[in-house]
A = this chain, B = another copy of it.
Amino acid sequence: MEQFQQITIIGVGLLGASLAKACHRRKLVETIVGFGRNADTLKRAELQHVIDRGTTDLKDAVAEADLVVLCSPVGAIVPRFLEMAPHLKPGCIVTDVGSVKAMLVRDIEPALPEGVHYVPAHPIAGAEKSGLDAATVDLYEGARCILTPTAKTDPGALERIRKFWQDVGMQVQLLDAEEHDFIYGAVSHLPHVVAFALINTIGQIKTSNREDILSLSAGGLRDITRIASSDPVMWRDIFLANKEHVLDLIGRLEETLGHIKDLISAGDGAALEECFKNANNHRGKLVGQEEE
C-alpha cells in the first residue's frame, strides 16, 4: 500500500518533476498533483504522465494532500507555504527540497497550522539544466538527502519523511539546520560563487588584438566553470537565504587567495609548493570519499 494517498508537488521544474517521476515509477503514492504558475507547463506535465493533475490554484492543489513537497526556488518557499497554510488538512506533512534550511525552519515552524507537520529536507541532487524537460526519473537515486529536524519536529512525521526520501532512492542523514547551512555554504554555495566570479572575470577580458580570449582556453577552464551554467534565480535565492554563511565563506576564500598572492609576490616557491601539495591532499580525500 502507498504510504501517501495524495502528494502535491509545488513547482514542476527539474526537482519537482523528477520527484514526481520517481514517485510514479516506485509506486510511492496514489495521486500526484502538481501546482505551478504556468498552465502550459502543467498541461505538458499531465500529458507526459509526470503528474496526474495540474492546477494553478494553490488551495485546490493542497486541500486534499497528505504530503506537500515544496520544490520552488528557496526564496519562494516561505511565501508559498504561508499562502497554502490555511488550506492544509490536519495530518498533512510538508517537506521541501530547499538548499538552505535555517531560514525555512525559522519562518515555517511558527506558522504551522494545528496538526500539520514540517520536516525540512535537502536532497543533494540537481543539474545545470532546469525545468520540466530536464527532469529524469533517477535524479535522486543513490544521492544523499539531509533532513534538519528541530526539537519541535514531530517524531512520527520525521520517520515517515525519512522513509519517503529513502523510498525515492536516497541515503538519508540528519544534521542541525545551521550546521547544514554552513557546511553546504562551504561545499556547494562557495564553489558556485567562485565559478560565477571566475567566468565573469575572464569573460570580460579583452586584449588589444582580441575581443574574446575564451576561445583560446583549454579543458581545465571548462570543468572549473561547469557550475557557472547553473540557474541564476535558484542561486540568487540560495545566496540571499544563506547570506551570513556565504559572506563568511567568501571572506575565508579571500584570505586564502590573499595568502597565495603574498607567496607569489614574495617569490616564495617552497611555501607555494607546500600550499599546492595541501590542495592535492584535500582533493585526494574528496575524490577518495566520493568513490567509496
Contact = CB atoms under 8 A, between A and B. Distances in A.
Nearest to A271: B236
A190 interface: yes
Contacts of A126: 218
A210 B183 contact: yes
A229 interface: yes
A221 interface: yes
Contact of A239 (B195, B232, B272): B272
A125 to B, nearest CB: 8
Interface string A185-206: 0111011111111111111110
A197 B284 contact: no
Contacts of A233: 273
Contacts of A264: 239-240, 243, 246-247, 250
A222 interface: yes
Interface stretch (A25-33, A84-92, A251-259): A251-259
A106 interface: no
Q: Which of A199, A201, A227, A254 has the most CB of B within 10 A?
A: A201
A58 B225 CA distance: 42
Contacts of A182: 207
A279 B224 contact: no
6 contacts: A126-B218, A186-B205, A201-B252, A223-B226, A236-B276, A240-B264
Interface of A: 75, 124-126, 143-144, 146, 176, 179, 182-184, 186-188, 190-205, 207-210, 212-230, 232-233, 235-237, 239-240, 243, 246-247, 249-257, 260-261, 264-265, 267, 269, 272-287, 289-290
- Cβ-closest 3 pairs across A and B: A203-B282, A232-B276, A187-B217
